[in-house]
Amino acid sequence: MNNPSEMNGFYHLNWLQRIGFGSGDLAQNLIFQVTCMYLLFFYTDIYGLDATDVSLMFLIGNIANVIWDPVVGTLVDKSNPKLGKYRAYLVFVGIPLTGFSILCFYDGFAPSLLYAYFTYIGMTLLYTFINVPYGALNSSLTRDTNEITVLTSVRMFMANCGGLAVGSGLPLLIAFFAVSEGDALPKDPHAWLITMSIYGVVGLLLLFFCFSQCKERVVMDAKESEDVKVSDLVTEFVRNRPLRVIAFFFITAFSMMSIGNAAGAYFMNSNLHGTPAQLSTFMGLGSIPAFIFMPLVPAIKRAIGKKNMFYAFLGVAIVGMAILYFVAKMDHPSMILIYIAQFIKSTGVIVATGYMWALVPEVISFGEYTSGKRIAGIVNALTGLFFKAGMTIGSVVAPFVLNYVHYNKDSINQTPLAQEGILWLVCVIPAALLLLAMFIISKYELTDEKIDEINRAIEMKNQQN
């Protein structure tokens, strides 16, 4: 006999389904986090592009995505593929995404700016075509708030497995395949291409696994899908206040992450003159706290509430950044203290930015409650826009600062000004953005009780129709 709550859309998933869903974010991190963390370094120090040219290319690519995101969101909501409304794209788009991500790290046409533009923008547009339906997939599995919290915890746990594999594993793999040695991040282009090919193929297999384990049960019917249009994106943004709040939170959070991630390799190479193993450890500590704290998120949220959890962990991240800054300024920085500071910073960042994805199904339900349309694809297209806006800011700021402080890719010993600029990218600017994020999230008004009330009202209305 069916559980009555499940009949009303409040489905409970088994652990294989939860892990299957989370494997989709693991896959995307294996593919996309490589570009977030290391593509700027690859372009400037291996492919041979000027940092200013890379900054402009990143800006143009993200502007293209501002146009592309609403198109994808509308298409996803209007379409009903036989393989699944949202999960079908994991298969259809996963293959070309993998191909383009590998081509981004091919230097056979270096230093052709045209080739870099073609592969980078192609990769980002395809990533959107995976990320938008994958984000909508979360809200299609269940309405249950606690289940969504668990799903988000599993998702971010596995996403950080991908982050660890990229941040910690990539330098070691590149060093393993590289012919030359001596840098924390070797500059052998052949080793970079082999490494990205491995990450891309593994990511593709994980997308297939995610597809196989997800069952969509809370979606618009075909008749409602026909009425979806691009203008719904603007309408939803205007009338959905909680969506606007998380819009600015996403922009701020992803700006912070983009700037900090892009600067990590420069920080270890130029400020600390580290080894591949030290870079691996430093970048890996950007993900390791997830394995400790993400499983605890449901209990922490129940104990102190949603907003207090954000405040606490954003504050922890700022403390970690402050410690990292002052330790790095020492005449002989202790790597142990550097690692401790990185762990503290990452703990705060991972929990706060990880749990923010659980807010997306909430604003989808709020929009459905106020408008009658469950436009999950369009809402995730909007969050994609916020994500891209943040990434755009980050992708412009990092190369701009490097250029401003006269970073020299051919110099082993950077000037004090260049080293200070890198420290600002790693610590100071991200900390300022986190303070702004704390103010923004204070304006979010949807409590768990309110969301449960909204979802019950929606299901009651659906049963009456």
What single string gives the DSSP state of each residue in 236-273?
HHHH-HHHHHHHHHHHHHHHHHHHHHHHHHHIIIIIS-
Percent of the chain with pLDDT over 90: 41
Q: Are 350 and 110 in contact (CB under 8 A)?
A: no
* Structure-block tokens of residue 229: 């249009």
Q: Could you tell me how many residues make up the chain?
A: 465
Average pLDDT of the residues in 291-309: 88
- At position 335, the amino acid (one-letter code) is M
Kindly report whether the global pTM for this prediction surpasses the value 0.85. Answer: no
Q: What are phi and psi of 255, to 5 degrees?
A: -60, -45
For residue 207, the SS3 value is helix
Q: Is the domain covering 12-464 a CATH 1.20.1250.20 domain?
A: yes
pLDDT at 393 over 60: yes
Please tell me the least confidently modeled range out of 305-319, 334-348, 407-421.
407-421
Residue 4: burial class (beta carbons within 10 Å; 0-12, 13-18, 19+): exposed
Residue among 73, 42, 424, 116 nearest 225 (CA)? 73
Tell me how far CA of residue 324 lies from CA of 179, 399, 406, in angstroms: 33, 21, 23
For residue 405, the SS3 value is coil
Q: What are phi and psi of 461, to 5 degrees?
A: -65, -40
Q: Hunting for tokens 């690519």 — which residue is that?
A: 61
Q: pLDDT by residue (tens digit) across 160-194? A: 889 889 888 888 899 999 987 656 678 899 999 99
Query: Comparing 335 with 448, which gets the higher pLDDT?
Result: 335
Long-range contacts from 31-34, C-beta under 8 angstroms, 24+ separation: 31/97, 31/98, 31/101, 31/127, 31/199, 31/200, 31/203, 32/101, 32/127, 33/162, 33/163, 33/166, 33/167, 33/261, 34/101, 34/105, 34/166, 34/170, 34/196, 34/199
Angle between helices 376-404 and 359-371 (to 10 degrees): 130
What is the reported pLDDT for 1? 41
Query: Comparing 3 with 9, which gets the higher pLDDT?
Result: 9
Backbone CA torsion sign across 81, 84, 87, 90: negative
Task: Say which residues have a Cβ less than 8 Å from residue 165's Cβ, sequence separation at least 6.
Answer: 29, 30, 199
Q: pLDDT by residue (tens digit) across 431-465? A: 999 999 999 999 999 888 898 888 888 878 777 76
What is the reported pLDDT for 4? 46
Residue among 350, 352, 294, 300 nearest 154 (CA)? 294
CA atoms of 404 and 406, how far apart (whole Å): 5
Q: Are 300 and 309 in contact (CB under 8 A)?
A: yes
Tell me how far CA of residue 44 lies from CA of 12, 132, 338, 402, 449, in angstroms: 48, 30, 26, 11, 50
* Burial state string for 429-439 with b = 16 or more CB within 10 A and e = fewer than 16: bbbebbebbbe
Residue among 433, 402, 398, 440 nearest 418 (CA)? 402
CA atoms of 461 and 143, how far apart (whole Å): 14
What is the reported pLDDT for 322? 96
Residue among 171, 431, 165, 202 nearest 290 (CA)? 165
What is the reported pLDDT for 108? 92
Model confidence band, residue 85 (pLDDT cutoffs 50, 70, 90): confident
Percent of the chain with pLDDT over 70: 94
What stretches of 178-240 show up as alpha helix (H) in DSSP?
Answer: 189-213, 222-226, 231-239
CA atoms of 249 and 448, how far apart (whole Å): 19
